[in-house]
C-alpha cells in the first residue's frame, strides 16, 4: 500500500489518522507539526502521499505546498482541513492537489480519497463539491485570479524579473515561479512573454 507522510500540528489528529491508515494497510513513514518541519523532512522522505493540514504554524498549508511545488516536488497531496475559504480552494487546485477533505467528515472518506488519488483521480469532499464546481465554472471555465496574482501579472508586464518581483511581494523567487506556473495554467499562456502580451486583456489596462 501507500507510504504516507502526515503534516498536522495536533498530536491527537496525527495519531487518529495514523491508526486509521494502519488499519487500511497503509504505512505512515513520517510526521511533522509545522510548515517548516514539513519542508525539511520531505526532502529525504520516501513518502508517496502527503496528507497536509491547511492551518499549521511555521507556514500555512498553501504556502508549504507552494514551496514544495516550486522545488519540483510532484508527489500526491491530500489537503485535510477543518475549514477552507474559496481562495484557498482555488490555490490548492492550481497547485495540483489530488484531494481536499474536511476534518468534520466521516473518517472513511480519507480512505476513499487515498484510493482515488492512488489511481490518479481527483477527489473532493462531497460537502465541498458544490463550491468547487461553482469556482471552476467562473469566467467560462477559467478560475478567477487572486489579488496577489493580478499584482504579479502587472509586475511581469512592467518587465520585472522574478527576483525583483519577489522583493516587492516579500516572498521567495521559488514562490514567484510557482505562482507564475499557476497563472499560466489559469489564463492559458505558455510563458512570461505571452503573459505580458496578454496582460491588458487579462487584468485590464
pTM to 2 decimals? Answer: 0.69
145-203 CATH = 1.10.10.10
Phi, psi of 178 (to 5 degrees): -65, -40
What pLDDT is stored for residue 43 in this prediction?
94
Q: What is the pLDDT of residues 30-71, one digit of tens each?
A: 999 999 999 999 999 999 999 999 988 877 889 999 999 989
Q: Give the CA angle between residues 98, 186, 196 to the nearest 5°.
A: 145
CATH class of segment(s) 3-138: alpha beta
**152-200 pLDDT per residue, tens:** 999 999 999 999 998 988 888 888 888 888 788 778 788 888 899 888 8
pLDDT digits (tens, 9 = 90+) for 117-153: 888 888 888 888 888 877 776 544 455 677 788 889 9
Q: Where are the domains of the chain?
A: 3-138, 145-203
Strand order in the sheet with 27-32: 27-32, 3-7, 49-53, 76-81, 99-102, 123-124
Cβ pair 56, 7 in contact under 8 A = yes
**How far, in Å, CA of 164 to CA of 24, rounded?**
48
Amino acid at each position: 500500500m501507500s507510504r504516507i507522510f502526515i503534516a498536522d500540528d495536533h498530536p491527537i489528529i496525527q495519531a487518529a489518522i495514523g491508526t486509521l491508515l494502519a488499519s487500511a494497510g497503509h504505512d505512515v513513514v513520517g510526521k511533522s507539526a509545522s510548515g517548516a518541519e514539513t519542508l525539511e523532512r520531505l526532502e529525504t522522505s520516501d513518502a508517496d502521499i502527503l496528507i497536509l493540514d491547511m492551518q499549521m504554524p511555521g507556514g500555512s498549508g498553501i504556502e508549504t505546498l507552494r514551496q514544495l511545488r516550486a522545488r519540483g516536488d510532484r508527489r500526491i497531496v491530500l489537503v485535510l482541513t477543518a475549514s477552507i475559504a474559496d481562495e484557498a480552494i482555488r490555490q490548492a487546485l492550481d497547485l495540483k492537489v489530488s484531494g481536499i477533505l474536511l476534518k468534520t467528515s466521516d473518517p472513511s472518506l480519507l480512505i476513499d480519497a487515498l484510493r482515488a488519488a492512488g489511481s490518479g483521480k481527483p477527489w473532493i469532499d462531497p460537502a465541498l463539491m458544490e463550491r468547487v464546481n461553482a469556482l471552476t465554472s467562473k469566467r467560462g471555465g477559467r478560475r478567477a485570479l487572486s489579488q496577489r496574482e493580478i499584482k504579479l501579472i502587472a509586475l511581469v508586464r512592467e518587465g520585472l524579473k522574478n527576483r525583483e518581483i519577489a522583493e516587492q511581494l516579500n516572498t521567495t523567487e521559488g514562490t514567484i515561479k510557482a505562482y507564475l506556473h499557476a497563472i499560466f495554467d489559469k489564463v492559458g499562456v505558455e510563458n512570461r512573454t505571452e503573459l505580458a502580451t496578454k496582460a491588458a486583456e487579462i487584468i485590464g489596462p
